Amino acid sequence: MLNDNDLDRIREALRSGTKGSKIQKNRLWKLLSHKLEPDLDRAEIAEGLSVLQKYGEITGQFGHGMHPYSSVELNIAEPETPENIKQWQNQVVRFQDQLSSKQFDALMTAPTVVTQLSASDQVGLITGLVAYSKDTRIKESYIASAKHILGSSKAIDVLGKSIQEAFKPEGKDQDDRTQYVLTAGLKNPKTVIIIENMAVFTAFSQSSCTEMATAICSFGYGLGSENLLEKISQGSIKSCPVIGERYDLKQIFSTPEVLFWGDLDSEGLSIFENLKQKIPDIKLSAAYGLMFQRIRKTSHPYNGIAKKSANQRHPKTDDPLVSLLSNAAKKRALDQEAVCDPWPGDIVIKSLKELNQQKITRFFDTQ
């Protein structure tokens, strides 16, 4: 069942497809598939087009599945700018003379979190960013952020990359701070596993798996599994061993087998696909097989109860196992902690793809 948010996404996709009021028949579904799948499947998109047709927002001759026989006319009104966004943009305009064109543009499209601030805090945020941009003395970005931007070390990250770039002090690298990851296991392992969540890493560090492999877990604001490999290649991360000797993080690019284990949700699988850009041969941990079995019995929706957005990005993949897992977690998700008690054993440090066919069939038999 489509909701108002889904209809708005279809409207926005249609608006983005033309500068005028008409979309050619052969382009309509290419556009909508590119913009909306797999978040919405073709049946849901067709349902949305049918609703918009009833509302008079699109007109044309359509056949089965809402495939057009001719060009489609759009009569979709531009969304009205909400009052809270207008208030923020008016504040930015007040400071236009103190801002570069790049800074002005970045603030005019700032994340919605700024609209939740009081008027005085919005002023404090803008003046703080201006002061932050001129401070070339403080090397640590979080310290500079806390000094200048409403006393918050996290504000500079929450505001997003466009604002970070626009207000980056001259000659200063935004990512020059040293960050840390925890490791547990061997100094020269044949298998390394990147674990998304701290509680699971703790369970790993207390298991016999540390005698066969090494686990890495990122922690701290601004460092996560997704940007971990980029930071390692830059040499801006230090390893803190919990169990075993200190692991040279750059070894991860030459380790025979690298695995990833995170939540069974859209975001976790997207992180895995992102990691492939740095390590093309990275594989999913076989623990995902256990999670696939569990998600059919217990799971949670994408909403506030699990601190997960209903608008999580979905992985773009040609890997059939990732596609299978992504489809299983399309509407509901499972955190990796759900299969940690009792600890599942050394299956965690095996590759899902390289399990024998009998075990894969056992995991993924949906009959």
Residues 201, 243: contact at Cβ < 8 Å? no
325 membership: H or E segment, kind and range:
helix 320-328
Per-residue pLDDT averaged across 102-109, rounded? 94
Identify whether residues 225 and 295 lie together within a single domain: yes
Domain CATH number, residue 266: 3.40.1360
Question: What are the pLDDT digits (tens) for 6-24?
Answer: 888 899 889 887 777 889 8
What is the value of pTM for the model shown? Answer: 0.62
Residue where one domain finishes, among candidates 74, 104, 128: 74
Residue where one domain finishes, among candidates 51, 74, 97: 74
Q: Count of domains in the chain? A: 3
User: What number of other Cβ atoms are within 10 A of residue 217's Cβ?
Assistant: 23
Per-residue pLDDT averaged across 275-299, rounded? 92
Identify whether residues 183 and 304 lie together within a single domain: yes
Identify whether residues 161 and 45 lie together within a single domain: no
Domain of 263 in residue numbering reads as 179-364
Identify whether residues 326 and 346 lie together within a single domain: yes
Identify whether residues 159 and 40 lie together within a single domain: no
Identify whether residues 157 and 188 lie together within a single domain: no
> What is the amino acid identity at position 327?
N
Residues 22, 73: contact at Cβ < 8 Å? yes
The proportion of the chain whose per-residue pLDDT surpasses 90, expressed as a percent, equals 54
Residue 148 lies in a domain: yes
pLDDT of 170 reads 86
pLDDT of 365 reads 62
Residue 174 lies in a domain: no
pLDDT-based confidence at 180, cuts 50/70/90? confident
Question: Rounded to an integer, what distance in angstroms lies between the CA atom of residue 220 and that of residue 227?
Answer: 12
Identify whether residues 194 and 316 lie together within a single domain: yes
pLDDT of 318 reads 85
Per-residue pLDDT averaged across 173-201, rounded? 86
Domain CATH number, residue 68: 1.10.10
User: What number of other Cβ atoms are within 10 A of residue 226's Cβ?
Assistant: 18
Identify whether residues 339 and 190 lie together within a single domain: yes
Beta bridge partners of 215: 184, 193
Task: Report H helices in 176-307.
Answer: 198-205, 225-234, 266-275, 287-295
For 172-201, give the DSSP string: --TT-S-EEEEEEE-SS-SEEEEES-HHHH
Residue where one domain finishes, among candidates 166, 200, 220: 166
pLDDT of 356 reads 59
Per-residue pLDDT averaged across 315-333, rounded? 89
Q: Is 207 helix (H, G, I), strand (E, B) or coil?
A: coil
Residue 171 lies in a domain: no
pLDDT of 360 reads 59
Range with lowest mean pLDDT among 152-156, 218-222, 294-298: 218-222
Residue 82: pLDDT above 90?
A: no
